[in-house]
């Protein structure tokens, strides 16, 4: 019986890397933009606090008397503390939405007090609500930037499937999205590679067992390997009777990319050796988690290439020994 093996990752989906700014120039640009935005954001928050300070103090005087000034200051300081804490949690990849909800509630209460002080005047109500809305928009923009950065650093940000694919092939796109969600595939390119391998394997099974009969005539092992394509099982399977000859080995020492250092390569080899000793196959996500626990920062897009370099280096070392 001929065993149908999943094909290797396809080449048609390999795209040239996008042109990026050098690290030093990119850092200078980010610092320059940050240096311009931070004073503007602080100014916006200060003006918003000053604008509502008099109104909130006047409405708090019947209950707080001479200490009515502490009410608007306490509310504004509390809002800033909650928002800053929320942004810090986002940066540490430990989001807690309660902080954002409470801060929004305080902002809504401040806006409501200012709107009530306008006594039904539409223009006054809009002017009182404009500044807090601008501040909320700025904070949400910062949160989105932090989430994007943290997602790239920790490999937890899931790319969206392009809208044109949803319009042209809604059913297959929905199935592709489902597999991305079930197998925690965060990049669209890797999802396409997995889909290419799955369709190629299904085509081979249909050619061997029949267009429709392959679903129940295919041996259990081959059907299981088809379902576990996204798990990125090791490429070397134990030989079976009648199996097809293995493909010729690749170049034992491919050129090492600039981002792959000796420490990262050795750490990857140790993780793979430990998994092999435990007779366990590591997925791409598990490999990334082990490396990030050791202090390495690497995106999911590079984990597959990193695994290949680690296995190739191990084979080359064994052959020389």
pTM of model > 0.85? no
Query: Token digits for 310?
Result: 């680690």
Segments in 239-293 forming alpha helices (H): 262-277, 284-293
For the CA atoms of 22, 24, 26, 27, what is the dihedral angle to 10 degrees? 160
Q: Are 4 and 204 in contact (CB under 8 A)?
A: yes
pLDDT in tens, 78-104: 988 998 898 888 888 788 889 989 988
Q: Residue written as tokens 């989001």?
A: 95
Cα angle value 270/276/282 (rounded, 5°): 85
105 pLDDT above the threshold of 60: yes
Integer Cα distance of 309 and 260 in angstroms: 9
CA 254 → CA 57, 272, 307, distances in Å? 70, 19, 13
**Tokens 């088809």 — which residue?**
226
Taking only the tens place, the pLDDT of each residue in 180-232 is: 888 888 788 888 888 888 888 888 888 888 888 888 888 888 888 777 776 65
- Give Cα 247 distance to the centre of its chain: 35
Between residues 153 and 198, the one the model is more confident about: 198
User: Which has the closest alpha carbon to 264: 236, 305, 319?
Assistant: 305
What letter does residue 65 receive in the DSSP assignment? G
Dist. CA 222–CA 2, nearest whole Å: 10
DSSP state letters, 180-212: HHHTT---HHHHHHHHHHHHHHHHHHHHHH-TT
Mean pLDDT of 308-317: 66
- 203/309 Cα distance (integer angstroms): 30
Q: What is the dihedral of CA 189, 192, 194, 197, to 10 degrees?
A: -130
Distance CA 150, CA 145 (A): 9
Q: Is the pLDDT of residue 168 over 90?
A: yes
- Which of 317 and 108 is assigned the larger pLDDT? 108
Which pLDDT belongs to residue 233? Answer: 38
Helix (H) or strand (E) run with residue 125 in it: helix 122-154
When pLDDT is averaged across residues 35-55 and rounded to a whole number, the result is: 84
- Which residue has tokens 């790319």? 159
């Amino acid at each position: 019986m001929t065993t149908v093996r999943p094909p290797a990752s396809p080449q048609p989906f390999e795209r040239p890397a996008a042109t990026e700014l050098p690290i030093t120039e990119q850092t200078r640009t980010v610092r320059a933009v940050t240096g311009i935005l931070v004073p503007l954001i602080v100014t916006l928050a200060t003006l918003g606090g000053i604008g509502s300070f008099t109104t909130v103090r006047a409405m708090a005087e019947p209950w707080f008397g001479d200490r009515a000034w502490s009410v608007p200051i306490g509310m504004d300081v509390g809002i800033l503390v909650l928002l800053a804490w929320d942004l810090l949690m986002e940066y540490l990849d430990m989001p807690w939405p309660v902080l954002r909800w409470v801060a929004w509630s305080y902002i809504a209460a401040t806006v409501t007090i200012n709107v009530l002080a306008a006594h039904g005047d539409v223009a006054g109500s809009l002017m009182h609500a404009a500044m807090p809305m601008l501040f909320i928009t700025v904070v949400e923009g910062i949160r989105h930037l932090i989430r994007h950065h943290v997602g790239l650093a920790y490999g937890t940000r899931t790319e969206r499937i392009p809208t044109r694919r949803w319009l042209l092939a809604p059913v297959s796109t929905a199935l592709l999205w489902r597999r991305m969600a079930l197998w925690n595939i965060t990049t669209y390119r890797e999802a396409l590679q997995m889909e290419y391998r799955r369709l190629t394997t299904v085509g081979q099974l249909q050619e061997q067992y029949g267009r429709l009969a392959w679903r129940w005539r295919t041996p259990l092992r081959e059907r299981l390997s088809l379902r576990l394509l996204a798990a990125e099982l090791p490429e070397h399977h134990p030989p079976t009777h009648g199996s097809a000859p293995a493909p010729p080995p690749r170049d034992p020492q491919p050129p090492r990319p600039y981002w792959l250092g000796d420490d990262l390569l050795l750490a990857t080899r140790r993780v793979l050796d430990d998994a092999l000793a435990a007779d366990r196959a590591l997925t791409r996500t598990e490999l990334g988690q082990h490396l990030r626990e050791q202090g390495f920062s690497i995106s999911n897009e590079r984990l597959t290439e990193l695994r290949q370099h680690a296995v190739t280096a191990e084979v080359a070392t064994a052959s020389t020994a």
